[in-house]
Amino acid sequence: MTIQSIPLFDLTGRVAVITGGGGMLGQQHAAALAAFGAIPVFVDIQIDQPHLAGDVLRQRFHADSIAIRCDITQEESVKSMVSQVIGHFGAVDILINNAANNPKIESAPTVEFSRFEHFSLSQWDADLAVGIKGAFLCSRECGTHMAQRGGGVILNIASDLGVIAPDQRIYRQEGVADDQQPVKPVTYSVVKTALLGLTRYVATYWADRNVRCNALSPGGVYSGQPDEFVRRLSNLIPLQRMARIDEYQGAVVFLCSDASSYMTGANLVVDGGRSCW
Ligand SMILES: NC(=O)c1ccc[n+]([C@@H]2O[C@H](COP(=O)([O-])OP(=O)(O)OC[C@H]3O[C@@H](n4cnc5c(N)ncnc54)[C@H](O)[C@@H]3O)[C@@H](O)[C@H]2O)c1
């Protein structure tokens, strides 16, 4: 039997809700899905940005693309967003839980707040609210709709830091006392690991309803971080470099399309090999 190249990855007309769609990787996920025919719906708490203007979205991504303001930490906001999408398009076929708080520890001058000893409960609550409560609410609302209509795909954007611990040495800054050195916040590890649990739960819960749920665990994307940080991180990666911004597009299309039809509850790690060292 020959592989039918077009139907395997074809997403024509599929409606794809992308949380954090206005952010750096959300735009990339949208571009990848739209290239295969999907209609990206940009869901973000900040949509008053020029790159999310309706005419820009329609020109860059898909003629039917829209952006919806939604705070995914708020139940009513998520319910309203999902009913707007269903009201507008008739369905949600794909959900990408992509939004997360991801402070740029490597570029900040002082980030003492990030240290475990001082990590505040309010920051803990805020990070878990976006990263895991938001993913739960969006999965519940979109997934229930998908289960009722007989299928759909949920993709959770985790991280290599969901499968390995952060190596705090790469964030060290010259001239800063040990007890004030920046570190990757505990919430990042907790949120990303929790997403893998949510992935397995949802995958098995709705397996009989043809709702697949997988995770993608990307490694760090190069976006102008300081040279020393890039050098230290690259040394931890067998491919010896950070990811280019578009290097998760293939995995996103694979996981959201019928090309991955026999895959659910899995975590696809795309990290230049970092987690196997
Ligand atoms: N950038 C990387 O190197 C990298 C590496 C591995 C994993 N990831 C993961 O990929 C995902 C996207 O990362 P990014 O770098 O594009 O982040 P980003 O900060 O550029 O984008 C996040 C988006 O989420 C939105 N958002 C925040 N709170 C929200 C809320 N309450 N409701 C709705 N939207 C909200 C923000 O407005 C922003 O547009 C995150 O889950 C991140 O952890 C990123």
Ligand 1 contacts (CB < 6 A) are 19-20, 22-26, 44-46, 70-73, 98-100, 102, 130, 134, 157, 159, 218, 220-221
Mutate to test the pocket of ligand 1, among 17, 18, 24 (most ligand atoms within 8 A of CB): 24
CA–CA dist 140, 54 (Å, integer): 27
**Strand, coil or helix: 49:** coil
Beta-sheet pairing, 39-44 with 152-157: unpaired
Q: Which atom of ligand 1 is nearest to the CA of 25?
A: 16
59 neighbors 30 (Cβ within 8 angstroms): no
- Could you list the pLDDT tens digit for every one of the 277 residues in the chain? 566 666 899 999 999 999 999 999 999 999 999 999 999 999 999 999 999 999 999 999 999 999 999 999 999 999 999 999 999 999 999 999 999 998 777 776 556 678 999 899 999 999 999 999 999 999 999 999 999 999 999 999 999 999 999 999 999 998 989 888 999 999 999 999 999 999 999 999 999 999 999 999 999 999 999 999 999 999 999 999 999 999 999 999 999 999 999 999 999 999 999 999 9
Exposure of 131 by Cβ count < 10 A (0-12 exposed, 13-18 middle, 19+ buried)? buried
How remote is the CA of residue 129 from the centroid of ligand 1, in Å? Answer: 13
CA–CA dist 214, 269 (Å, integer): 11
